[in-house]
Chain A
């Protein structure tokens, strides 16, 4: 038996969850984004975003920075180099899958 051939085996399980995928895709286009902007753009609640960001942070994909604009506390999110690299690989794999179904090798061998 040969190793896994289908591109799906290259997908990143941490990034593949829908909300996390959207968060990472947004952050991939930004050097840094404010928590509220990410929440509104991805269309999730504060608590859902916090939970998913915590998972991404734990995986080493997202870095969180807390600061102030005037007297208002703000939280800024950015992708780490590891997160950026993993997302690029993940998106590349999705593009491969989107390009078309992979021929069934076992059927072809029969």
Chain B
């Protein structure tokens, strides 16, 4: 093993830093997915508020939401070639937060607040928030 002098050692440290940046830059797919999910969730719950008491409206909105999520997943996730350290933990936390708010908003909205547009608009923002925060956190890690 050749002994590195301080110049060579500094170059190696710079190489390690550059490779870390390459991994960060390649992790954009998760940021896009989280942002897309935040937008889709917010539009879906707002749409349920607009649909009011119409079953057909609720079903149509749900169908469109399902298609949007499927397209988003197929477009961004299969080609992901690298996942940053700690991504599983951060994603699990984000998705648990989203599932909790989304589930509660749907359960309350469809049983108690159906047709109440103000409720659905607030619920839409609240359900999109965990995903938006997750996307922002991932994007900031890449800087």
Q: List residues of chain A with CB under 8 Å of any chain B CB.
A: 6, 8, 11, 13, 16, 21-22, 25-26, 28-34, 36-37, 41-42, 69-70, 91, 94-95, 97-101
Give B73-126 interface residues, CB cut-off 8 Å to A: 78-79, 81-88
B59 within 8 A of partner (CB): no
> Do B16 and A28 have beta carbons less than 8 Å apart?
yes
In the bound complex, CA of A101 to CA of B9 (Å)? 11
> Do B78 and A70 have beta carbons less than 8 Å apart?
yes
Residue on A nearest B14 in the bound complex, by CB: A98
The answer, among B5, B81, B85, for a CB contact under 8 Å with A97, is B5
Q: Given A101-B5, A101-B6, do A29 and B15 touch, yes or no (CB 8 Å)?
A: no
> Do B82 and A34 have beta carbons less than 8 Å apart?
yes
A-B contact count (CB 8 A): 82
Number of interface residues of B (CB under 8 A): 27
In the bound complex, CA of A69 to CA of B81 (Å)? 11
Per-residue CB proximity of B11-48 to A under 8 Å, as 1/0? Answer: 01101100110111010000000000000000000000
Q: List 22 A-B contacts (CB under 8 A).
A: A11-B1, A16-B1, A21-B16, A25-B15, A26-B19, A28-B16, A29-B84, A31-B84, A31-B86, A31-B87, A33-B23, A34-B81, A41-B22, A70-B78, A91-B13, A94-B9, A94-B16, A95-B13, A97-B4, A97-B5, A97-B6, A101-B6
